[in-house]
Amino acid sequence: MSDIHVPPRPSLVTKILRLRRGPWENIATILIGLGVVMLMQPYSATAYAYSFITILAGTILFAIVSHFPE
Amino acid sequence: MTELPAQTAFADRVAEAMPSGIGKTVRGLSDKAIAWLFIGPTILLLLAINIFPLIWTIYLSFTNYRANRPNAEVKYVGLDWYHRILGDADVWAAMQTTAHFVIWTIIIETVLGFGLAWLIDKKFRGHALWTTVILIPMMLSPAVVGNFWTFLYQPQSGLFNYAISFVTGIDPSSFQMLGSVRLSPWAIVIVDAWMWTPYVMLICLAGLRSIPDYIYEAAEVDRASPWRQFWSITLPMALPFIMLAVLFRGIENFKMFDMVNLLTGGGPGSTTEVVSITLKRQAFESWRTGYSSALAIILFVTVFGLANIYVKALNRVKQR
């Protein structure tokens, strides 16, 4: 019987460094979601002030990474 | 080689349908050029009514332009309006009012919508009729809904107050749904939930109907209880559809304007002033066009970002 070689699953960092669409889209989605929460939360004026730039960064990142290969 | 006769025939047919002068020109064009000729006017129209106003709004957001003073000198103010909006306590309060509205409508619509879809999916006698009845509010115009709920909420003659009185025993004229600071945010949530729960139900129903029967049959063979089937099969498999409904309603309610404007106009005071009402007040009551343009761009980027997530979720559902 021959041994079946199963390649190790790549770590999250490896997946991100490979510039593949999936993990990068997740990062952009988290950034947009975080920005929306910062925009609407009632607790921190500083978080509110930086909300738009966070959403903008996430949206631009999303537009760029949607052109990455699967 | 094989494409050439077909191409010529198509160009000929188009040329025959046109006046002789233009027909001669069309005969010399390729299929691609003719296709561009047809879609060109539509693209121009889209650019004129969608892209140009967007670019113009971005430009205005960097200036001190006021629409009520068209002849005044327009000065470039850079990112000043963006800085002011992101430090403005009134806009921040409007964002929180919007958040209250968005969160509660999503929770109520999702719970009720999924519950209704789950019941309708049981296919009891007359389920088709009930589906149609449930869908009626969704088919009405928000202007109509806003108007008749204003009548329903009337403290003296409105049916809503009498229904609450019938259930709780409170005097119907003792409370005002639209005039009270405490109740008016909930009045809007109730109307939106009444109108849009059927939409969430439709999406959830599509999700429930996409679950194959053999999974439930296998679960029954394994003696899984109905409760266990619900938590292990129904809910996980319908979850992408529920997420889709949540995202769509989130985006729609974030930019909600018409219903709030008709019901309360942002009042009493600024209790129900969602961010789109603030935008309208700044643009057409205070005439701060540059400021309101910057606010519009902030809202646009937010909705665009959420729409990206929505499209991603939609693609995941399609892959299933």
Q: Which of helix, strand or coil describes residue B49? A: helix
Span B212-246, pLDDT tens digits: 999 999 999 999 898 999 999 999 899 889 988 99
Q: Which of B86, B96, B98 is opposite residue A52, by nearest beta carbon?
A: B86
Look up the domain containing B238 and give its range: 81-319
Q: Which residues pair with B63 in a beta bridge?
A: B76
Please judge whether B302 and A62 are an interchain contact, meaning their C-beta atoms are less than 8 angstroms apart.
no
Give me the amino acid identity at B49.
I
Span B170-187, pLDDT tens digits: 888 888 888 888 999 999
DSSP assignment string, chain A: -PPP-PPPPPPHHHHHHTT-HHHHHHHHHHHHHHHHHHHH-SS-HHHHHTHHHHHHHHHHHHHHHTTS--
Average pLDDT, chain B: 88
This prediction has a pTM of 0.81
User: Between A and B, how many CB-CB pairs are < 8 A?
Assistant: 53
How would residue B1 be classed by pLDDT, with cut points 50, 70 and 90?
A: very low
Instruction: Give the residue-averaged pLDDT of B77-102.
Output: 94
Q: What is the ipTM of this complex?
A: 0.83
- Kindly state whether residue A33 falls inside one of the protein's structural domains: yes
Binned average pLDDT, 10 residues per bin, chain A of 70 residues: 71 73 88 94 94 95 87
Supply the CATH number for residue B88's domain: 1.10.3720.10
- Kindly state whether residue A7 falls inside one of the protein's structural domains: no
- Kindly state whether residue A70 falls inside one of the protein's structural domains: no
Interface of B with A (CB under 8 A): 82, 86-87, 92, 95-96, 98-99, 102, 298, 301-302, 304-306, 308-309, 312
How would residue B13 be classed by pLDDT, with cut points 50, 70 and 90?
A: confident
Instruction: Give the residue-averaged pLDDT of B278-292.
Output: 93
Lowest mean pLDDT among B10-14, B180-184, B204-208, B265-269: B10-14
Q: In Å, how far is A49's CA from the nearest CA of chain B?
A: 5
Q: Which of helix, strand or coil describes residue B76? A: strand
Look up the domain containing A39 and give its range: 14-65
- Kindly state whether residue A9 falls inside one of the protein's structural domains: no
Q: Which of helix, strand or coil describes residue B63? A: strand
Which residue, A67, A53, A57, A7, is CA-closest to A28?
A57
Please judge whether B312 and A29 are an interchain contact, meaning their C-beta atoms are less than 8 angstroms apart.
yes
- Identify the burial level of B109 via C-beta atoms within 10 angstroms of its C-beta, where 0-12 means exposed, 13-18 middle and 19 or more buried: buried
How would residue B2 be classed by pLDDT, with cut points 50, 70 and 90?
A: very low
Distance CA B255, CA B218 (A): 45
Same domain, B144 and B204: yes
Number of residues that make up chain A: 70
Distance CA B297, CA B284 (A): 17
- Kindly state whether residue A58 falls inside one of the protein's structural domains: yes
pLDDT confidence of residue A69: 83
Same domain, B7 and B114: no
How would residue B30 be classed by pLDDT, with cut points 50, 70 and 90?
A: confident
Distance CA B187, CA B100 (A): 12
Nearest CA in chain B to A46: B87
The number of helices, as runs of H, and strands, as runs of E, in chain B is 16, 0
pLDDT at B84 over 90: yes
User: With a CB-CB cutoff of 8 Å, which residues 16-55 of chain A face chain B?
Assistant: 25, 28-29, 32-33, 35-36, 39-42, 45, 48-52, 55
- Kindly state whether residue A34 falls inside one of the protein's structural domains: yes
Span B111-166, pLDDT tens digits: 999 999 999 988 788 888 888 999 999 999 988 999 989 999 988 888 998 898 88
pLDDT confidence of residue B219: 92
pLDDT at B4 over 70: no
Which residue, B56, B44, B7, is CA-closest to B27?
B7
Could you tell me what percent of chain B has a pLDDT over 70? Answer: 93
Same domain, B98 and B192: yes
Contact B266, B260 (CB under 8 A): yes
Contact B85, B91 (CB under 8 A): yes
Pick the more confident residue, B304 or A17: B304
- Kindly state whether residue A1 falls inside one of the protein's structural domains: no
pLDDT confidence of residue B204: 94
- Kindly state whether residue A18 falls inside one of the protein's structural domains: yes
Cβ-based neighbour number of residue B141 at 10 Å: 9
Please judge whether A52 and B98 are an interchain contact, meaning their C-beta atoms are less than 8 angstroms apart.
no
